[in-house]
Amino acid sequence: MVSKTVTVTNEQGIHMRPAGVLAAEMKKFPGCTVTLKVGEKTAKATAIMQLMAAGIKCGSVVEITADGENEQAALDKAVELFESGFGE
């Protein structure tokens, strides 16, 4: 299991579009479970609804955890998406 902490940089937070992008990317790692932890809330990175329910705002500190096959690659991809601001 690997994990890394990132800070949300895109101004609008993780609204529906970034959540969709993240979920779509994470679905490419079927053998790996990626989880986000924000404050007391957790969300599966593949579940758009859970990501939305977490209500992640700009500036939030998110702990990303990947567990399973290709976990390092999955984590790296997730971190890259956060750091790039999901292309916004």
Q: Are strands 61-68 and 2-7 parallel, antiparallel or unpaired?
A: antiparallel
| Nearest approach, Cβ of residue 23 and other proteins (Å) | 8
Q: Is the dihedral of CA 57, 17, 31, 74 positive or negative?
A: negative
Cα separations in angstroms, 33 against 12, 58, 65: 26, 24, 8
Q: How far is the CB of 47 from other proteins (least distance, A)?
A: 8
Instruction: Check binding of 24 to other proteins (CB under 8 A).
Output: yes
Closest distance to other proteins from the beta carbon of 1 (Å)? 25
Active site includes 15? yes
Each residue 42-61 as x (binds other proteins by CB under 8 A) or -, in order, gives ------xxx-xxxx-x----
CA atoms of 53 and 30, how far apart (whole Å)? 22
Interaction of residue 16 with other proteins, rule CB under 8 A:
yes
**What residues act catalytically?**
15
